[in-house]
């Protein structure tokens, strides 16, 4: 995305691509149930594996590392993209300044937000069916149907958040930094409030609890237009590396969350689930506050392209300015 998306379009493109994962998660509930009942549980793995292989083939023929290498876009589109991205193909990437990266406060703001956001998200996505069964008392059939709703909500919110972010930026309603912080705040503080609300629900308030759970997971997706695209803002030439680091750290909560919840809810009571949800809400708030205070969108000093290397740092131009039509000169009109 650092090579393919202008800064003013990055939120939308990243949002659309990441929302596909949540849509797939939602589809697996009805498809998986149908496959299990008709062809056995192992058929789910065979079918999903085959789809994965098919995707790899499509990816190989349709995806290119940069616009300069792509044979599937027009010259005009290639010129537009290359003119508006900060780091272009052909520019020499500098050695990664590891010490500067790990001593950068804006980088740690992204890291903490990503990690804290994933704790609450993974906890919900792995534990929602269990919570619905043990506390809300949903039967197996209803549990499967309602468990897909949070994924659909998140898919919708991710798609909308990216588009809204780019509109705010392109129309200059808000600066980049405000947009990133606003989206991250909604995606961190919103789920925290929903989790607190869920703790007061019981089996007599099933629908309200499901709405709050959908709100929690869905609002988490709005943060994808915040901290999750911030890597490309602060370090365009190292965006992939930074995302790899923060995403690796953010997978740790996915491992820990189920064990923590399991250790807390040994008796499967509503009070124990309240403790688990309060912990997740607190983690959301910590990550959101740290990002709100320390996040930046300017290219950091350690990530700027060295002029001595022969590369030039390209600054983004607003999309509205880039679309100005310049009429070619006509010789007959010369005076």
User: What is the pLDDT at residue 312?
Assistant: 47
Contact present, 22 and 220 (Cβ < 8 Å): no
Taking every pair of Cα atoms in the chain, the longest distance, rounded to a whole number of angstroms, is 90
* Residue-by-residue DSSP string for 221-282: HHGGGTGGGTHHHH-GGGHHHHHHHHHHHHHHHHHHHHHHHHHH-SS--HHHHHHHHHHHHH
Domain membership flag for residue 331: no
Residue 304 within any structural domain of the chain: yes
Predicted pLDDT at 324: 43
Q: Which residues of 249-273 are buried (b: 16+ CB within 10 A; e: fewer)?
A: ebeebeeebeeebeeebeeeebebb
CA–CA separation, 292 and 119 (whole Å)? 18
- With b for 16 or more beta-carbon neighbours within 10 A and e for fewer, the 201-220 pattern comes to beeeebeebbbbbbbbbbbb
What is the pLDDT, as a whole number, of residue 86?
60
8 Å CB contact between 88 and 311? no
> Are the CB atoms for 250 and 213 separated by under 8 Å?
no
The answer to whether residue 335 is domain-embedded is: no
The confidence score (pLDDT) of residue 308 equals 54
**Do residues 268 and 260 make contact, with C-beta atoms less than 8 angstroms apart?**
no
Q: What residue numbers bound the domain in which 305 lies? A: 7-325
CATH number of the domain within which 240 lies: 1.20.1250.20
132, part of any domain: yes
Q: Residue 166: what pLDDT?
A: 86
Is 333 inside any structural domain? no
Instruction: Indicate the DSSP class of residue 313.
Output: P
Any domain includes 1: no
Q: Are 122 and 260 in contact (CB under 8 A)?
A: no
Residue 330 lies in a domain: no
Closest CA to 33 of 133, 109, 141, 118: 141
> What is the mean pLDDT of each successive set of 10 residues along the chain, which is 335 residues long?
72 75 78 82 91 93 83 81 66 82 97 96 84 78 72 88 88 93 97 93 85 92 91 90 95 92 90 93 97 95 70 44 45 49
pTM of the complete model beyond 0.85: no
Residues in contact with 86: Cβ distance below 8 Å, sequence separation at least 6, in sequence order: 2, 7, 232, 236, 237, 299, 313, 314, 315, 316
- On whether residue 184 sits in a domain, the answer given is yes
The count of structural domains within the chain is 1
């Amino acid at each position: 995305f650092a090579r393919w998306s202008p800064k003013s379009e990055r939120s939308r493109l990243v949002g659309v691509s990441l929302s596909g994962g949540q849509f797939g998660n939602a589809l697996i509930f009805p498809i998986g149930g149908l496959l299990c009942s008709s062809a056995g549980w192992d058929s789910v793995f065979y079918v999903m594996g085959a789809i994965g292989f098919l995707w790899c083939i499509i990816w190989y023929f349709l995806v290119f590392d940069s616009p300069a290498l792509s044979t599937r876009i027009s010259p005009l589109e290639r010129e537009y993209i290359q003119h508006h991205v900060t780091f272009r193909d052909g520019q020499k990437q500098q050695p990664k300044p590891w010490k500067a990266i790990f001593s950068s406060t804006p980088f740690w703001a992204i890291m903490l937000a990503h990690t804290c956001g994933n704790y609450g998200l993974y906890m919900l996505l792995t534990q929602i069916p269990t919570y619905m069964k043990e506390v809300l008392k949903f039967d197996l059939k209803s549990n499967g149907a309602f468990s897909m709703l949070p994924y659909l909500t998140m898919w919708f919110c991710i798609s909308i958040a990216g588009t809204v972010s780019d509109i705010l930026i392109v129309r200059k309603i808000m600066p980049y930094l405000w947009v990133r912080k606003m989206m991250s705040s909604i995606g961190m503080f919103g789920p925290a409030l929903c989790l607190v609300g869920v703790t007061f629900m019981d089996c007599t308030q099933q629908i309200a609890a499901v709405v709050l759970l959908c709100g929690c997971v869905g609002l988490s997706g709005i943060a994808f237009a915040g901290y999750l695209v911030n890597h490309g803002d602060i370090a365009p030439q190292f965006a992939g590396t930074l995302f790899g680091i923060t995403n690796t750290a953010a997978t740790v909560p996915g491992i820990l969350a189920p064990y923590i919840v399991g250790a807390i809810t040994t008796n499967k009571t509503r009070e124990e689930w309240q403790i688990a949800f309060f912990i997740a809400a607190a983690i959301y708030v910590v990550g959101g506050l740290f990002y709100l205070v320390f996040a930046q969108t300017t290219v950091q000093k350690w990530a700027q392209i060295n002029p001595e290397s022969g590369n030039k740092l390209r600054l983004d131009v607003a999309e509205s300015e880039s679309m100005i039509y310049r009429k070619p000169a006509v010789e007959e009109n010369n005076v």
